[in-house]
Amino acid sequence: MSTAVTPESRQVAEAVLAANPANTYLKEIDSELNKAYFEEKARQEALASFAKEERELMDLGSKHYSGLCASCHGANGQGVPAGNQLLAPSFVNNPRVLGDKSLLAHIALNGFTGPIAGKTYTGGVMLALKSNDDKYIAAALTYIRNSWGNKAVMVTPQDIAKVRRKTSSVTGPYTEKTIRKVMLNSGDDIKLWKLSATKGQKYLPNLQDDDLKNTYATKSQMKKGFYIQADFPHERKISRVILQAKGNDFPKALKVEISTDGKTWQTVAAKVKGKRTTVVSFPTTIATKLRVTCLEDKKSWWQLYDFKIPTPQK
């Protein structure tokens, strides 16, 4: 007997419910039997709403970009040539554009001056956009993150408002030196990390989606030396790792190492007993990579619901 929900079966169910509005038992049965259907319907409605908001921001962003940004960054987002240099940096496949949206909001709100990653641009100064409202800036940033082959999550007016509050005391444009301070305290969004592992590589994206029911799994018994590694989008401060395992599928013991170049590794936690929720704390340090390694064999998979490396609280 099929339990799949069809338009016809929903029509019948809704007719029965409408004919018996006072029968709460029928409503409870409908909700329970068709729980998956209602959850999927809610998800699709949320996606449709999100898509509508993103389309609106993209349309507004296109207008704002053409009117303000294109004169320096170019209609194609690749920067306007100025002799052997560019007036301003290219936005195409630009890590700062596609990376942490909070960092991008800092720059957009307050401006930037001087070399960028050692490269000089003849435009000199990017003017602060803080005189514009949150929706204006969110639209412009969403547009550059999703044009010319770029693809990244939208920036919302709420994102801009949050950073605006944080930077209310900033009075001038950022420089490479001052923006580094911001970068060191950002980058904790796992969706921005490059993940790798000894086993179960194809299941690592399950740690980066929004469904906490999905797990990363080795799909084989744990062996000494199995590791999971996170590469951050830039140098950042870290002091803690939180691993949320499924059931008993966690290492008996593990170690944590960090690196800034991928060649030299420093052990920050030599041996930690594994638990369903394993929290590893260590003195605040700066890293671009972190690796968690299993130290003992175990006759079960390594399965994780969640993998967090939060930014230390000030």
Cβ neighbors of 29 (< 8 A, separation 6 or more) are none
pLDDT value at residue 1: 38
pLDDT value at residue 314: 66
**28 lies in some domain:** no
For residues 252 and 157, membership in a common domain is answered with no
For residues 128 and 68, membership in a common domain is answered with yes
Q: Taking the CA atoms of 296, 211, 257 and 245 in sequence, report the sign of the dihedral they define.
A: negative
For residues 140 and 247, membership in a common domain is answered with no
CA 29 to CA 24: how far, in whole Å? 9
**2 lies in some domain:** no
For residues 147 and 194, membership in a common domain is answered with no
For residues 178 and 216, membership in a common domain is answered with no
For residues 226 and 246, membership in a common domain is answered with yes
Each residue's pLDDT tens digit, 172-181: 999 999 999 9
Parent domain of 299: 190-308
**How many domains does the chain fold into?**
2
**4 lies in some domain:** no
For residues 76 and 179, membership in a common domain is answered with yes
pLDDT value at residue 48: 67
**30 lies in some domain:** no
**314 lies in some domain:** no
pTM: 0.75
For residues 134 and 228, membership in a common domain is answered with no
CA 262 to CA 116: how far, in whole Å? 23
**8 lies in some domain:** no
Q: Domain end: 162, 184, 206, which one?
A: 184
| One-letter-per-residue 3-state SS of the chain | CCCCCCHHHHHHHHHHHHHCCCCHHHHHHHHHHCHHHHHHHHHHHHHHHHHHHHHHHHHHHHHHHHHHHHHHHCCCCCCCEECCEECCCCCCCCHHHHCCHHHHHHHHHHCEECCECCECCCCCEECCCCCCCHHHHHHHHHHHHCCCCCCCCCCCHHHHHHHHHHCCCCCCCECHHHHHHHHHCCCCCHHHCEEEECCCHHHHHHHCCCCCCCCEECCCCECCCCEEEEEEEEEEEEEEEEEEECCCCCCCEEEEEEECCCCCCEEEEEEEECCCEEEEEEEEEEEEEEEEEECCCECCCCEEEEEECCCCCC
For residues 233 and 300, membership in a common domain is answered with yes
Q: Domain end: 141, 158, 184, which one?
A: 184
pLDDT value at residue 24: 76
pLDDT value at residue 127: 92
Q: Domain end: 165, 184, 203, which one?
A: 184
The segments of the chain whose pLDDT lies below 50 read: 1-2
- Tokens 């306007």 -> residue: 80
For residues 302 and 243, membership in a common domain is answered with yes
**80 lies in some domain:** yes
pLDDT value at residue 10: 79
pLDDT value at residue 31: 74
For residues 214 and 163, membership in a common domain is answered with no
For residues 175 and 55, membership in a common domain is answered with yes
